[in-house]
Amino acid sequence: MTARSFSLKSPTPMPGWGLSFGIMLTMLSVVVLIPMAVLLWRGFVGFGPTGMWEVVNRPRVWNALELSFRAAFVASLFNLVFGVLLAWVLVRYRFPGKRLIDAAVDLPFALPTAVAGIALTAIYAPNGVLGSVILETFGARVAYTELGIWIALIFVGLPFVVRTVQPVIEEIDRETEEASATLGATRLRTLTHVVLPMLTPAALTGFALALARSVGEYGSVIFIAGNLPNVTEIAPLLIVIRLEEFDYNGAVAIAIAMLAISFTLLLAINLIQIWSRRRMGAV
């Protein structure tokens, strides 16, 4: 056996590896694996693929799924750009109120989503502080439209990008940027060829976390969305409606459809991350 090979019987510098691995596997099974297995079993064995397709293949369900993933993707893209900029400012610059802004980034983590939804609705409603100004200035409504859903998802997803990218920016040595400048590179070229390649894996991780969080968001969206079928009705709300109607098979079918689409998106993002890391290693 080579020095790099590993087996369960080989000694390890970490004491209690077997116990730690057992606890980890047990908790993972209780929290993730068993519930997912029960969900899939209820759908494919108890309900059947044909029955699930009959539930999902309806205009109302497709519109809800499309809205959920489209709004989550758009909000996550915004958070990807704005979150990286915000993290860069918080790390590289000193200004009055920096600690307050840094602490406010974590507010969506601590604030109940229902409270966030009520607050955003009060602010962006047609008679709200910002909603009335936007309505009078641009003639556009925010609350009870898809735009309101975007704002709610941006609110809940921004911390994932900022907190993922921030430590990476702190580890970037400024001498690397200075060396690029001494070699004649412009600021734009230093940004695109030196800084961004180092931030790409962390930024994609933050994007994936924000996307996963936004797709399943419920509390902060239902208040500001308006919940009009085929217009502003999100898929998580449709699942809750099916449960309230005691249509458990319908709720399971929609949940499995969301799971399949989410898994496909996250798999694609992970493949892009692997490709970006290999490209950086080759460079």
Would you write out the chain's pLDDT as a tens digit for each of its 283 residues?
A: 444 444 555 555 656 777 888 888 899 899 888 988 988 898 888 788 888 899 899 999 999 999 999 999 999 999 999 999 999 999 989 989 999 999 999 999 888 888 989 999 999 988 888 888 888 888 888 999 999 999 999 999 999 999 999 999 998 887 777 777 777 777 777 777 778 888 888 999 999 999 989 998 998 899 998 888 889 999 999 999 999 999 999 999 999 999 999 888 888 888 887 877 776 665 5
Contact 94, 173 (CB under 8 A): no
Handedness of CA 70, 72, 74, 77 (dihedral sign): negative
Q: Where are the domains of the chain?
A: 18-47, 59-282
CATH homologous superfamily of 59-282: MetI-like (1.10.3720.10)
| Spatial separation of the C-alpha atoms in residues 101 and 85, rounded to whole Å | 13
Of 121, 155, 159, the residue nearest 141 (C-alpha): 121
Contact 166, 105 (CB under 8 A): no
Alpha-carbon separation of residue 184 from 135, 188, 198 (angstroms)? 49, 12, 20
| Spatial separation of the C-alpha atoms in residues 141 and 144, rounded to whole Å | 8
Which pTM value belongs to this model?
Answer: 0.85
Tokens of 85: 């900029």
Residue type, 71: A
Any idea how long the chain is?
Answer: 283
Say what the pLDDT of residue 21 is. 82
| Spatial separation of the C-alpha atoms in residues 177 and 181, rounded to whole Å | 6
| Spatial separation of the C-alpha atoms in residues 156 and 272, rounded to whole Å | 24
